[in-house]
Amino acid sequence: MRVIQIAMTGAAIQVAPNNPQNPGQTPYASLLVIQAPTGQPVTVGDNTVTATRGIVIAAGATLTLQFSQARGSALSQYWLIGASGNVEILYETAG
């Protein structure tokens, strides 16, 4: 398992950590857990996410996604938007 912490700024932020095995490429995840900060909701979506477009995670709540395909899902496909606070992301690399 790996953990990423992303500071929310009010702008959309791409979830795209570096892949240590292949620099410049985002890892693929078989399991993805996103936890919103205690005091603020966070919206998750693609590159068109806005505060009103996407899946809203309530303040302090989590969203868990598990992917059945062997390759998993590229973390770079996910974007977050929130006013403030730190979003915690836990993921298991696929493969």
Q: Contact, 32 vs 65, CB < 8 A? A: yes
The per-residue pLDDT for 1 is 86
Q: For the chain, what's the residue count? A: 95
| CATH numbers and ranges of domains, the chain | 2-93 (2.60.120.770)
Task: Give the pLDDT confidence score for residue 71 in this predicted structure.
Answer: 79
Q: Which tens digit of pLDDT belongs to each residue from 9-46?
A: 999 999 976 666 666 677 889 999 999 999 999 999 99
pLDDT, one tens digit per residue, over 43-67 is 999 999 998 999 999 999 999 999 8
- Between strands 86-93 and 28-35, the pairing is antiparallel
pTM for the whole thing?
A: 0.87
- Burial track 24-44 (b if 16+ CB lie within 10 A, e otherwise): eebbbbbbbbbbbbeebbbbb
Task: Please tell me whether residue 92 adopts helix, strand or coil conformation.
Answer: strand
| Contact call for residues 54 and 22 (beta carbons, < 8 A) | no
